[in-house]
């Protein structure tokens, strides 16, 4: 109890208006930080194993299977190896930033998770404890803000290495992240339209009342998903570290634990992005069709069940990341930029206008978000879902006309064929090199 008393005094010294006998939130926060950090690090370690096992499964081979039963201790061996390896310092590198860069990509990746609510509140003898480290009133904006800082680590790694491949990787990454951040933010604004608040706990609370946002905001969800892949630098958007062109991109010059920190940052960004997709579009920790668990009065078993559901949903998106990585080839750099600026951004802007008009229209028609037609069908949600499906068909059929989403095995379209022929006609004839 003495530690609790000390913490209470520290708390009082921070804010004298809070009564000394109040709930020791500082105490709970410290415990939550320790637990979440540990769980996150272990998850990341085992995600590397999962990635290798899934890639092996997709490519029909065994994957790591030597360390421990079925290769289960492989992450420990990898960690040990990374610590024991020699650290190299390129002589031409800019020292302070070369050391700072891995840290600057590692820290933002970890602290974004702080605002994500991962379970129903837990009742304790000292009051209700929120199951997120800090339920910030600006939760979603905090995530956007911190996620936008992740690029510093990559850019500075590329610049300070004083290596042309690393610099190209860093430049690509900064251009890519700035481009896709805009679409990501705009896609998420549609969520904020429905929830009416930027705090993540109230976004989850709204979804418990009205249903998941993935269906009434289908296009917004897909835009966010694509932008999240681009922001985490995962395939098909891993241009900053494209092996076939840039050796290893921004981390070419790094070795041992500093190299490993870039990987930990990438995987923790993946975890945060998956948790964010779950929270914004799939009801967060809410259990579908079981309102008893999702609503007060709270109980410890409710916290447990909702935690498990949160993990399942997040795990699904993590699997999706890996599935896509081992299925799709990498974009070309100009394709990446044109998808970002010429496709994603106009669609996101237009979508936002249409959704805002639809929400306003439903409000004027007097349909409440919680209204149920015949006591069962969520009418608000259904109207928006139908609107989204119509919009999706319009986007794919009318706007696209088979140019962008035509599959790789399809025949070349008439338009593209004409363009290719025109390009071939424009090209000057090849001249023999000197001395031939």
- Residues within the interface to other proteins (CB under 8 A): 10, 12-18, 94, 96-97, 136-138, 141-142, 144-149, 151-152, 155-156, 158-159, 167, 170-171, 174-175, 177-178, 181, 196-199, 202
Cis peptide leading into residue 389 (ω within 30°): no
Helices vs. strands in the chain: H and E counts, helices first:
17, 4
Q: Secondary structure of 244-279 in the HEC alphabet? A: HHHCCHHHCCCCHHHHHHHHHHHHHHHHHHHHHHHH
Q: Smaller CB distance to other proteins: residue 155 or 208?
A: 155
Cα 199 to chain centroid, rounded: 17
Closest approach, Cβ 277 to other proteins, in A, equals 20
Q: Smaller CB distance to other proteins: residue 164 or 332?
A: 164
Q: Smaller CB distance to other proteins: residue 49 or 151?
A: 151
Closest approach, Cβ 349 to other proteins, in A, equals 15
Q: 192 — phi, psi (to 5°)?
A: -65, -30
Instruction: Check residue 412 and give left, alpha or beta (phi > 0: left; psi -120 to 50: alpha).
Output: beta
Q: What is the DSSP letter of 113?
A: G
Closest approach, Cβ 265 to other proteins, in A, equals 16
Closest approach, Cβ 10 to other proteins, in A, equals 7
Q: Smaller CB distance to other proteins: residue 149 or 320?
A: 149
Cβ burial, residue 84 (10 Å; 0-12/13-18/19+): exposed
Q: Smaller CB distance to other proteins: residue 47 or 188?
A: 188
Query: SS3 breakdown of the chain: % helix, strand, coil, rounded to 5?
Result: 65, 0, 30
Neighbour tally for 342: CB within 10 Å: 11
Q: Smaller CB distance to other proteins: residue 136 or 404?
A: 136
Q: Smaller CB distance to other proteins: residue 155 or 395?
A: 155
Q: Smaller CB distance to other proteins: residue 104 or 219?
A: 104
Q: Smaller CB distance to other proteins: residue 11 or 388?
A: 11
Closest approach, Cβ 174 to other proteins, in A, equals 5
Q: How far apart are CA 275 and CA 379, in angstroms?
A: 28
Question: What torsion, rounded to 10 degrees, do the Cα atoms 104, 109, 110, 113 define?
Answer: 150
Closest approach, Cβ 280 to other proteins, in A, equals 16
Closest approach, Cβ 350 to other proteins, in A, equals 19
Q: Smaller CB distance to other proteins: residue 96 or 413?
A: 96
- Would you tell me the crossing angle of helices 164-195 and 345-364 to the nearest 10 degrees? 10
Q: How far apart are CA 238 and CA 169, in angstroms?
A: 10
Closest CA relative to residue 159, chosen from 250, 26, 247: 250
Closest approach, Cβ 140 to other proteins, in A, equals 9
Closest approach, Cβ 13 to other proteins, in A, equals 4
Q: Smaller CB distance to other proteins: residue 101 or 261?
A: 101
Contact by Cβ (8 Å): 150, 109: yes
Q: How far apart are CA 392 and CA 278, in angstroms?
A: 21
**What sign for the dihedral angle of Cα 353, 147, 320, 315?**
negative
Closest approach, Cβ 15 to other proteins, in A, equals 3
Closest approach, Cβ 157 to other proteins, in A, equals 12
Q: Which secondary structure element, helix H or strand E, spans residue 128, and what is its range?
A: strand 127-129
Q: How far apart are CA 191 and CA 196, in angstroms?
A: 8
Closest approach, Cβ 77 to other proteins, in A, equals 36
Closest CA relative to residue 232, chosen from 200, 261, 260, 272: 272
Q: Smaller CB distance to other proteins: residue 175 or 227?
A: 175
């Amino acid at each position: 109890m003495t530690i609790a008393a000390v913490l209470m005094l520290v708390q009082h010294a921070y804010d004298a208006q809070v009564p000394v006998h109040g709930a020791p939130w500082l105490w709970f926060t410290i415990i939550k930080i320790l637990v979440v950090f540990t769980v996150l690090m272990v998850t990341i370690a085992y995600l590397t194993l999962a990635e290798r096992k899934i890639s092996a499964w997709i490519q029909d081979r065994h994957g790591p299977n030597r360390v421990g039963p079925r290769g289960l201790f492989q992450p420990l061996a990898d960690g040990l190896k990374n610590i024991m390896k020699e650290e190299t310092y390129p002589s031409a590198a800019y020292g302070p930033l070369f050391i700072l860069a891995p840290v600057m990509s590692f820290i933002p990746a970890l602290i974004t998770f702080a605002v994500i609510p991962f379970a129903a509140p837990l009742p304790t003898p000292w009051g209700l404890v929120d199951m997120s480290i800090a339920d910030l009133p600006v939760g979603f904006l905090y995530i956007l803000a911190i996620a936008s800082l992740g690029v510093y680590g990559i850019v500075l790694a590329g610049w300070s290495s004083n290596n042309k491949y690393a610099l190209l990787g860093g430049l690509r990454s900064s251009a890519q992240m700035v481009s896709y951040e805009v679409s990501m933010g705009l896609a998420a604004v549609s969520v904020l339209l429905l929830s009416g608040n930027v705090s993540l706990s109230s976004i989850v609370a709204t979804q418990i009342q009205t249903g998941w946002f993935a269906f009434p905001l289908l296009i917004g969800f897909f835009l966010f998903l694509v932008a999240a892949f681009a922001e985490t630098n995962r395939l098909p958007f891993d241009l900053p570290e494209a092996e076939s062109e840039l050796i290893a991109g921004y981390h070419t010059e790094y070795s041992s634990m500093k190299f490993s920190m870039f990987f930990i940052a990438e995987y923790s960004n993946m975890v945060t992005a998956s948790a964010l997709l779950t929270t914004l579009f799939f009801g967060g920790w809410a259990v579908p069709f079981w309102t008893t668990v999702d609503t007060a009065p709270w109980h410890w078993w409710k916290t447990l069940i909702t935690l498990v559901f949160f993990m399942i949903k997040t795990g699904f998106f993590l699997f999706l990341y890996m599935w896509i990585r081992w299925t799709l080839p990498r974009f070309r750099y100009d394709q990446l930029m044109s998808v970002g600026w010429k496709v994603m951004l106009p669609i996101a802007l237009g979508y936002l206008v249409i959704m805002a008009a639809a929400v306003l229209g439903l409000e004027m028609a007097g349909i409440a978000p919680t209204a149920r037609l015949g006591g069962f069908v969520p009418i608000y949600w259904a109207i928006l879902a139908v609107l989204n499906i119509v919009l999706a068909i319009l986007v794919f059929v009318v706007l696209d006309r088979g140019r962008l989403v035509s599959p790789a095995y399809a025949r070349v379209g008439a338009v593209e064929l004409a363009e290719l022929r025109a390009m071939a006609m424009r090209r000057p004839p090849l001249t023999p090199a000197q001395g031939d």
